[in-house]
Structure 1
Amino acid sequence: MKSPTGTTRRVRPRAALAALAGAQFTVMLATSVVNVALPRIRAGVGLSDGGTTWVVNAYGLAFGALLLAGGRAADLFGRRRTLLAGLALFGTASLAAGLAHSAGPLIAARTAQGVGAAVVAPAALALVMDVFPPGPGRGRALGVWGAVSGAGAAAGVLLGGLLTQLLGWAWTFHAVALGTAVVAGGVAAFVPRVPGGRPGRFDVLGATAVTAALTALVWALTTARRTGWSAAPVLAALALAAVLLAVFARLEHRHPDPLLPPRLFATGTVTAGNVLMALLGSVWTALFFFLPLYQQQVLGYGPLVTGLGQLPLAAATMLGSTVAPRLARRPGPPVTAATALLTEAAGLLWLSRIRADGGYWSDVLGPAVLIGLGLGVAFVQLTALAVAGVPRADAGLAGGLVNTTRQAGGAAGLAVLTTLAGSVTAHAAAGRTHAEALTTGYRTAFAVSAALLALSAALAPALARRRAVPAAPDTVPLTGTGPSAP
């Protein structure tokens, strides 16, 4: 591959993968690094209850709503160029968030962070598929991708607790900014310049309609956690989302180069991968919400100890992601994904037995390891299903779509499960201590999560049955079938 000066540049796949995985890690880190720090952020900038919620929601809202547009931009304008632009925005916004002294600038910076993340995530995944040709190497690369994705959220809780306790809440953002700068340098140095964007027009109207629809949907789901499902603003936002999605479908039918082309779903297992990823996301997001709350509000742990308690979960997730390609070699991704989902469901069912007078070693450690192993394997295999058979020109969009379904599923799952847990806690409060009532709510959330994953596992083989339509030569094959090094 030639550099701009005309000299041949040697591609180093391992270094390129490290840089691209680092980009995904920072995006996932930013989703959870502030969770433990929220009480101190609130005191530091004078946030209200609603403002504190929007420190989390602003990032997730922008991230989830703009992923499809970010993925299509990567396909049209060049993936490496788009990735570097997204990292620049993401890092600058992270720095601005750490420097904020009032609620408005902080929430605005978190929104800009989410916009940058929506550009980074699909572009980085598409570049992984560009750098690694079809075969065992790509399967191993997706395993690494899954490892850092699964570990990023858990590591965010640990890093957030450590930085908040030792250096102050602002460093939860400054650390992300520094890490992003390192990642951007790695991308510039090691990720090759693949052929530029493909011919085509960016579907501005379609992108606007679907972004507005997803914004309304995610806003409704996150607001429902606080106001309830019957609140007028929530119902109005859900209705608006439905109307905008109908408008989007109509626009896509008429546009010569639609944002979400039908060819994306014509072959392979794209639909199955995205449906199952949405279900996995609904449980994944809720897990990293409820588990730290149990550790802090019931077991009485501080931020640092709570963060350290996520290490076994993170390590198990990384292990599961790493071995996922090897496990799928014989049965294939659909069966492997179903087995992994059942494993995670078993861990959550075990976690639903937590006690108010319990402890980390007796109530959390074992289930966390089992959940992490299942989560790591499932994430890799569902990602493989979601990009299988996709035309190479649409790889960025496929990456944006699978991230969108995970984010939307996470928002929906968290809204439903927090409402359920809150209702159970309120009902159990009579005649019980506060810790016992909270534990009852958390147990219910974990039990329902286990049932949802068991249902997903039952559906996986049927949903993922591949169509008997030959894939075009320029499509992404179903990977995850070999463990050899990239």
Structure 2
Amino acid sequence: MQLHDSLEMDIRPTSAAHGFGPLLIGMAMNIVDVPMMAIAMPGIGGDLDLGTGPLTLIAGAYPLMVAMLLPAGRAGDRFGRRRVFLAGGALFLTGALLSALAPGPLPLAGARMLQGGGAAAVAPQALAMIPQLFPPVAQSGAFARLAMTGSFASVCGPLLAAAPDWLGWCAIFLAEAALALTVILMARGQPSPEEPSMGGGSRPIETASFAALILCLVAPLSFGPAFGWPAPVFLMWAAAVPCAALFVRLTLQVGPAALIPPALLREPGVRWSLVFLLLAVSAPPGFFMVLSLALQSEPRLSPLQTGLVTAGFPAGVVAGSWTAGRLALPPLARVALGISLRCGSFLLIHAILPGTTLARLWPLRVGMLTAGAAME
């Protein structure tokens, strides 16, 4: 018995090292998309002759599908995490190739939705497979490497968006397609860390009702500005009410095995954490898109110059993450400090942006660095 346990401990880290590579690249593939698209938006708008509304639709198509993380995670529990991980990579690859070939805003938005669906499938499986790949003592290190990979991808994303003129914004999607293909090829040769779990858990109708609720809440924010707030947008918001009622009813029936266990939401700390995450995470994507449009229109920065400016935000996140762990402050004090720094940095950016020139970019870089550090 001791010999068997010893052999298992010797073999498992080796197989984990091989199986961890696709997870790292998959997470980087998901995260690098947002800053790259923020830099590419002005080029897309210029080449396709698009106004703010269609650009808003294109920008919102990806996060609309990424919001389906929770149903996608449950699909991994039901059908096998490796299988759903590979399906997500294939969906992301297909969406990237179709995005590179898109002739107009609607095909591009549809392709972006495919990419977002692939990202929603990949991310939760990558997180869930770490406990199957690593023993308990090594899991914290694996999660730390996964987080560092995401931070590195965020820093590199704006710089990768500076493609040659003859490729333009299509190069972004070709690069993402190459990453997705790499993930698929690496993951196909790896043994599955677990078998599909077909029993227990939430019912498909509960998962479907939650996905419909998210769709009815988030989709109008993308479709409304793009189409002039037509009546169907408000009908979708109204449809969110019965979807929410059905989801709550099914959740109470299932109990602890529900998609979102009711006991979890009764914890005050969990509720406040969700509110804080909503406020902290929802603003940066839109902020990056608006800032990229502004920098490439009035000061007329190039995509590379814009990327060098916006890269200060994820660089600040990395620096803030390293510093936060060394501050001897209670959690509430850290949150208060982060909120103060973030508000101050956004006010600073708002104040200095009108006077920004090609020769005077360092104040904006300082503001971006501070805003990123405040995230941690």
TM-score, structure 2 as length reference: 0.81
Q: Does the 8 A contact of 1:55 with 1:106 survive in 2?
A: yes
Q: Does the 8 A contact of 1:154 with 1:288 survive in 2?
A: no
The structure 2 residue matched to 1:19, chosen from 18, 22, 30, is 22
How far apart are 1:290 and its partner, in Å?
3.0
CA distance, structure 2, for counterparts of residue 150 and residue 285 of structure 1: 15
CA distance, structure 2, for counterparts of residue 134 and residue 270 of structure 1: 24
Worse-matched range after superposition: 37-46 or 119-128: 37-46
Worse-matched range after superposition: 31-40 or 88-97: 31-40
Q: Per-residue displacement from partner, 1:44-64 (whole Å, max 9, x unpaired)?
A: 567676444332222222221
CA distance, structure 2, for counterparts of residue 18 and residue 336 of structure 1: 33
- In structure 2, the CA distance between the partners of 1:283 and 1:141, relative to structure 1 (3 Å rule), is farther
Match of 1:243 in 2: 242
How far apart are 1:334 and its partner, in Å?
5.7
Match of 1:209 in 2: 209
Give the aligned residue type for 2:346.
L
- In structure 2, the CA distance between the partners of 1:177 and 1:274, relative to structure 1 (3 Å rule), is same
Helix, strand or coil: the match of 1:33? helix
How far apart are 1:195 and its partner, in Å?
5.3
- In structure 2, the CA distance between the partners of 1:56 and 1:36, relative to structure 1 (3 Å rule), is same
Give the aligned residue type for 2:85.
L
Match of 1:348 in 2: 346
How far apart are 1:97 and its partner, in Å?
1.9
Q: Does the 8 A contact of 1:58 with 1:111 survive in 2?
A: yes
CA distance, structure 2, for counterparts of residue 81 and residue 113 of structure 1: 17
User: Percent of aligned pairs with the same residue?
Assistant: 28
Match of 1:157 in 2: 158
Match of 2:114 in 1: 112
Worse-matched range after superposition: 101-110 or 301-310: 101-110
Q: How many residues align?
A: 366
Q: Does the 8 A contact of 2:89 with 2:118 survive in 1?
A: yes
CA distance, structure 1, for counterparts of residue 91 and residue 364 of structure 2: 38
How far apart are 1:228 and its partner, in Å?
7.6
Q: Which has the larger share of helix? A: 2
Q: Does the 8 A contact of 1:165 with 1:304 survive in 2?
A: no
CA distance, structure 1, for counterparts of residue 364 and residue 191 of structure 2: 40
CA distance, structure 2, for counterparts of residue 145 and residue 115 of structure 1: 21
TM-score, structure 1 as length reference: 0.65
Helix, strand or coil: the match of 2:369? helix
How far apart are 1:298 and its partner, in Å?
3.1
CA distance, structure 1, for counterparts of residue 336 and residue 148 of structure 2: 18
Q: Does the 8 A contact of 1:165 with 1:303 survive in 2?
A: no
Q: Per-residue displacement from partner, 1:22-53 (whole Å, max 9, x unpaired)?
A: 21221122234233333443565676764443
CA distance, structure 2, for counterparts of residue 189 and residue 317 of structure 1: 34
- In structure 2, the CA distance between the partners of 1:323 and 1:115, relative to structure 1 (3 Å rule), is same
Give the aligned residue type for 1:76.
R
- In structure 2, the CA distance between the partners of 1:53 and 1:268, relative to structure 1 (3 Å rule), is closer
Give the aligned residue type for 1:157.
P
Match of 2:193 in 1: 193
How far apart are 1:301 and its partner, in Å?
0.9
- In structure 2, the CA distance between the partners of 1:355 and 1:120, relative to structure 1 (3 Å rule), is closer
Helix, strand or coil: the match of 1:11? helix
Worse-matched range after superposition: 345-354 or 205-214: 345-354
Q: Per-residue displacement from partner, 1:110-159 (whole Å, max 9, x unpaired)?
A: 22111111111111122235445556x54444444334445545543332
Structural RMSD (CA): 3.5
- In structure 2, the CA distance between the partners of 1:53 and 1:164, relative to structure 1 (3 Å rule), is farther
Q: Does the 8 A contact of 1:67 with 1:118 survive in 2?
A: yes
